[in-house]
Amino acid sequence: MSGGTVAVVGGSIAGCAAALAAARGGADRITVFERAQAGLRDRGVGIGLHNDRFAELRDAGYLTSEMPWAPLNRRVWSVRDGDARHGRPVGEQPFPFRAYNWGSLWSELRHRVPDGVDYRSGSVVTGVEPDADGVTLRLGDGHRERFDLVIGADGYRSVIREAMYPDTAASYAGYIGWRGTSPEVADLPSDGLDAHNIVFPGGHCMAYRIPDGVGGHRLNWILYTTPAREDGLHPDLRTPTSLPPGRLTARLTTWLRELVADTFPPYWAGKLLGTPAETTFIQPIYDLEVPRYTAGRMALIGDAASVARPHLGAGSVKALQDATALQSAWESAGDWGQLLEAYDTARGPIGSAMVALARRMGDAQVENTPDWSAMGQPEFDGWWQAQNNGSDRRSGFGGHSLKRD
């Protein structure tokens, strides 16, 4: 099938990938609506891609080896052990991952979007009006535009998903991620080639090196825990949101810093507590599933369709895989109905499976943590295996394999 007009609502990684898929599918006219005026390339948080998932996406034409990345070989889980500088390892895993800077990865994908695509920064979609054979979008400037197909790539607060499923929204998992990036990478263990998980009662923190976008590196970290439910400490996060720098309450900031000082090995406590405050923010953790990835002439991609907790290490992978499935459906379909049905069949079950696996990981790694101090490698291996029991053997940490047996 070829031809038709397509709108992509959201212009980040998922949106750029969706526009690329639509262009390769043969759409006549593609318009991307991105609400941010600028600055997407300045988002400096880290993204990890499993080597095998990278190879699949490279072969599909969505990633290239030239995109700046940092190699990771192992993941080391460590617990505080007296004054031991780096703590005591409780378990080690192979970790064949490539670490990216979100902004750099987005920038590279943005450059791959064909010149003929109308990418509009600072363009807000305020309303969605579907009909039998198309969708009209209401824009913040008062204009209305109609399209044959609208793709929601606008994240976990998607206006397109709300139009498709008004009663379906992201649900708060009950805990947060405290994120930050630091320029202090000169003395990282193993020359920065390992990812590190620092564990403590009620959570853990993952830290690894990423490119900084200008030829150097930064330390990227995210700490998962549940603040006590006290006034002024645990924000009301039931409505999907995020807390950027400057929005943290003084009490929550103090609580998090005391947690790190009391439970982290000295080296890692210094790294987190020395991170510039302006590069830290709160990421509430949410879950989201939808009944279908499509409805009428609307489709969802990336976090607009399903949100799996970050413990899976596959958020960007899923968005890019969604795009490859959309392109494949486009190339094999004879009409819009066939395209949308094929896309939902290909990605809906995978999205649900990833959400379920990430919930199990969140339960084991944050909500009901083990006695880390009693663990050695055998105990760690058993604990890790229990989180993956019942999973499709093509799925696991790092995402879902596109290769079939």
Dump pLDDT digits (tens) for 64-100.
988 889 999 999 999 999 999 999 999 999 999 999 9
Instruction: Report whether pLDDT(388) > 90.
Output: no
Instruction: Report whether pLDDT(391) > 70.
Output: no
Q: Report pLDDT for 246.
A: 55
Q: Report pLDDT for 252.
A: 85
- Give the residue-averaged pLDDT of 190-219: 94
* Residue 213 DSSP class: S
Instruction: Report whether pLDDT(41) > 60.
Output: no
266-270: long-range contacts (C-beta < 8 A, 24 or more apart)? Answer: 266/83, 266/85, 267/85, 267/86, 267/87, 268/78, 268/86, 268/87, 268/196, 268/198, 268/205, 268/207
Instruction: Report whether pLDDT(17) > 80.
Output: yes
Nearest in space to 279 (alpha carbons), one of 212, 346, 377: 212
Instruction: Report whether pLDDT(303) > 90.
Output: yes
Q: Report pLDDT for 269.
A: 98
pLDDT tens profile 223-236? 999 987 776 667 67
Measured torsion, CA atoms of residues 233, 271, 202, 350, in degrees rounded to the nearest 10: 100
Q: Which range has the worst mean pLDDT, 305-314, 368-377, 392-401?
A: 392-401
Q: Report pLDDT for 373.
A: 95
One-letter identity of residue 29: R
Nearest in space to 75 (alpha carbons), one of 398, 360, 400: 398
Q: Report pLDDT for 305.
A: 96
Comparing 73 with 38, the larger pLDDT belongs to 73
Q: Report pLDDT for 402.
A: 79
pLDDT tens profile 119-178? 999 999 999 999 999 999 999 999 999 999 999 999 999 999 999 999 998 899 999 999
Pick the CATH number of 5-42+104-170+288-368 from 3.40.190.10, 3.50.50.60, 1.10.10.10, 3.40.47.10: 3.50.50.60
Q: How many C-beta neighbours within 10 Å does residue 74 have? A: 15
How far apart CA 26 and CA 282 sit, in angstroms, is 40
- Give the residue-averaged pLDDT of 110-121: 94
φ, ψ of residue 169 in degrees (nearest 5): -145, 160
Query: If you count DSSP H runs as helices and E runs as strands, how many of each does the chain have, helices first?
Result: 9, 19
**Average model confidence (pLDDT) across the chain:** 91
- Give the residue-averaged pLDDT of 274-300: 93
Q: Report pLDDT for 389.
A: 75
Instruction: Report whether pLDDT(220) > 60.
Output: yes
pLDDT range class, residue 403, cuts 50, 70, 90: confident
Q: Report pLDDT for 241.
A: 66
Q: How many C-beta neighbours within 10 Å does residue 269 have? A: 19
For the chain, give every domain's residue range.
Answer: 5-42+104-170+288-368
